[in-house]
């Protein structure tokens, strides 16, 4: 098996776009143990809160990335972040 190193990857050509994952602010709808269901724009996702160093509750906002809540946000900051993300990204980008 041959490893692919970052410098071995082909460079993007003009007009191509590189995809990346973002952590998205989501509102917690339910919580059972270390598992939550969170929602943004009608999309619900399950996530784990085991990486958070603080307690969260239903109604709190968290940043969810790769199936884990990685940070807790206050509502005002979460809503402003989502507003800015909606300005920058198209509907298809935020799925």
For the chain, the structural domain boundaries read: 23-89
Q: Would you say the C-alpha torsion 53, 35, 91, 16 has a positive or negative sign?
A: positive
Q: What is the pLDDT of residue 15?
A: 75
Question: For the structural domain made of 23-89, what CATH number should be given?
Answer: 2.30.30.140
pTM of the model: 0.74
Long-range pairs for 64-72: beta carbons < 8 A, 24 or more residues apart: 64/23, 64/24, 64/26, 64/38, 65/21, 65/22, 65/23, 65/24, 66/21, 69/36, 69/38, 70/23, 71/23
Q: What is the pLDDT of residue 71?
A: 94
Write out the chain's pLDDT in tens, 95 residues.
Answer: 455 555 556 677 777 766 666 788 999 999 999 999 999 999 999 999 999 989 999 999 999 999 999 999 999 999 999 999 888 877 665 55
């Amino acid at each position: 098996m041959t490893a692919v190193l970052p410098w071995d990857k082909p460079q993007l050509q003009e007009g191509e776009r590189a995809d990346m994952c973002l952590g998205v602010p989501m509102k917690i709808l339910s919580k059972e143990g270390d598992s939550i269901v969170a929602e943004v724009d009608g999309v619900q996702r399950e996530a784990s809160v085991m990486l958070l160093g603080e307690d969260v509750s239903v109604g709190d906002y968290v940043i969810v990335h790769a199936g884990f809540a990685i940070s807790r946000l206050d509502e005002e900051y979460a809503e402003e972040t989502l507003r800015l993300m909606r300005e920058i990204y198209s509907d298809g980008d935020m799925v």
